Chain A
Amino acid sequence: MTDTLTPAPARSAVAIDDPRVRRAIELVWHEADLLDRKEYDAWQALYADDAIYVIPIERDAEDFDDILNMVYDDQRMRAMRVTRMTEGHAIAAVDAAVTVRTVSRFVVTGVEDSVVSLRAAQVLVAFKRGTHDLWAGDVDYRIRLGADRAEDRFVRKVVRLVDADAATPAAGFLL
């Protein structure tokens, strides 16, 4: 069986060097760096209050309310998740894998006023106790641009793993 995502336009109408797009990509790279460094408090601050962060099991899903997801976090759940990852009581987080991720193959899926939507590929290698695990997926981002770069915020991030509906390892880190 082959999973297919909704076909994208052959080529985005907006160039990657559009200043709005560049700012959005810079935010994505900054987030990747924070997550690999496990700086979760700083990570959380990159999200708008109304943002959602989702890792679905159904790769093509758009509406996540009535399906089971791996992660479906609003602001309250993100805050609790950061507490869990940083308080030192979660044995999986204390002994989490070291991760290095690359986010690339950006496609601009929309630019409207101060909102930029992107699709990208993320490849993450997690190393723990002699084993490298590979986490690969498409990521959809929606980013709201603020008055300056420091105020740019994620309003939506959806990580669609290539093995979303298969058995992954249990993770002590975030995608």
Chain B
Amino acid sequence: MTIELTPQNVYDVAPADLVQEDRVAGRVYTDPAIFELEMVKIFESTWIWVAHDSELPKPGSFKSTFVGRHPVIVSRDRKGVVHTLVNRCRHRGASVCEKRTGEANGFTCPYHAWSYGLDGKLRGIPYPDGYEGVMSKEGMGLKKLRTESYGGMIFATLADDIEPLEDFLGDVKTWIDRFMKQGGGYPIKVLGTHQFRFKGNWKIQLENTTDGYHFPIVHRSWMASVDAETADMMSFMTDPEAVTHDLGNGHSVGQMVPEHSDLDDDDGTEPLQARFAPLVERLRGHGLDDAAIRKLVRSMHGTGFNLNLFPNVSLSSAFFRTLRPISVDETVIEHVAIGPDGPPEIVDEVNRERLRVHEHFQGPFGFGTPDDAEGWDRVQRGAAGAPELPIMVNRGLAREKPSPEGWATSHITDETGMRAAYAHWKQMMSDD
């Protein structure tokens, strides 16, 4: 059903009806009641990315993060099992961990010293005699979330009854497998994390990752600062092979550099960027053959695609990007730098270059991120005006066709990824 929005009815329409195939109402960015509903119907009802496997390198490793607005601890226990625990003492509600990452034997509440194991079980209560006949330690552990992983990506959910993670990911799995090939033959590890916040709704960022249309405009200053080979690699605007697929369940992938979609496909003809020549020489000095060197250097900018996973993580070229909704008009973003995990004499050289590439674009002072954030701030500010006017996500609708795999597909500059996300949003936000 299509409802024509007017200044008179825009605040009365049910949230799910604010999203149509080719447009969404600006109210989805600005209405605090919709935000509250999203926290329940989306962030507490589907799989939320919480960590990469490498962030929990050994038993006792932990990372604190959020599932929606719930603070959680992701921990690896002595048997290597990963748990996602609500960071809230079962006694009086204090957080039991305020470190972002680290190693621990367990977690002890600083208020009354209730102590918990890495698996969240309640281990000890000081002066326990007051609890005799009142409570047993059984069942009083930290609240534990269902936790599953695929390809090193760890997700958690507050919803016990939803489909297994692998079913939720579906066709995304192929693309995760491809993304992890940027280790150049080695596994992937997290190298560091940039964090920044912007004054806008979380969905403005969600839309951005597979939005090729903004790139040459917003990122003109970055394009001007990179070498000719890199700029040429990113000149996807007029490349008919550069496409975006709707992968289902709100997920999408934008192939900006189709020839780098599967980094194992290399006929050896693509020249390596000249600025990596000193690295190539050093890697050769470590005994690597040309094929192994090409694998590592061709991956320097990651894979040739941005994979957007609904609702809070994307695997974007050479990094993970996560979003955390704070309020209807504030969002925290993390850009997680990644690189190969292997013998230090080889991967340290490669990762040093990857860190510099990451710093160049990402982070609060990068050559790309502040410009993205400026665009997103502007969307939030402008969307407050004339709320009956829709946000248009119709670009390329008439040229969208199924790929051989059956994915709705259009050009990289089209808004297929946004339509995928909003169709799923509409389904999750509906009353049925």
Q: Which residues of A contact B (CB under 8 A)?
A: 1, 55, 57, 65-72, 77, 80-81, 83-84, 87, 89-93, 95, 129, 131, 165-172, 174-175
Contact: A171 with B364, CB < 8 Å? yes
Contact: A167 with B197, CB < 8 Å? yes
Contact: A170 with B196, CB < 8 Å? yes
* Cβ of B109 to closest chain A Cβ, rounded Å: 16
Q: Which of A55, A83, A167 contacts B365 (CB 8 A)?
A: A55
Contact: B100 with A71, CB < 8 Å? no
Q: Which of B199, B218, B333, B359 contacts A69 (CB 8 A)?
A: B359
Q: Which of A72, A87, A168, A172 contacts B359 (CB 8 A)?
A: A72
Contact: A83 with B99, CB < 8 Å? no
Chain B residues, CB < 8 A from A71 = 359, 363, 365
B224 interface residue per 8 A CB criterion: yes
Known: A68-B191, A169-B196. 9 other contacts (CB 8 A): A68-B359, A72-B359, A89-B220, A90-B367, A92-B373, A169-B197, A169-B198, A172-B374, A174-B365
Contact: A168 with B370, CB < 8 Å? no
Contact: B196 with A84, CB < 8 Å? no
Chain B: interface residue count, which band? Answer: 35 or more
B332 interface residue per 8 A CB criterion: yes
Q: A1-B99, A71-B359, A72-B359 are in contact. Are A66 and B348 (CB under 8 A)?
A: yes
Contact: A68 with B355, CB < 8 Å? yes
* Cβ of A32 to closest chain B Cβ, rounded Å: 17
Contact: B371 with A171, CB < 8 Å? no
Contact: B195 with A170, CB < 8 Å? no
Chain B residues, CB < 8 A from A1 = 98-99
Q: A57-B192, A91-B374, A167-B332 are in contact. Are A68 and B221 (CB under 8 A)?
A: no
Chain A residues, CB < 8 A from B375 = 91
B424 interface residue per 8 A CB criterion: no
Complex CA–CA separation, A48 to B332 (angstroms):
36
Chain A residues, CB < 8 A from B369 = 170
Contact: A89 with B358, CB < 8 Å? no
Complex CA–CA separation, A83 to B317 (angstroms):
25
Complex CA–CA separation, A140 to B124 (angstroms):
45
Contact: A167 with B370, CB < 8 Å? no
Q: A68-B194, A89-B220, A169-B198 are in contact. Are A80 and B367 (CB under 8 A)?
A: yes
Q: Which of A84, A168, A171 contacts B221 (CB 8 A)?
A: A84
Q: A91-B374, A168-B197, A172-B370 are in contact. Are A66 and B355 (CB under 8 A)?
A: yes
Chain B residues, CB < 8 A from A69 = 355, 359, 363
* Cβ of B118 to closest chain A Cβ, rounded Å: 19
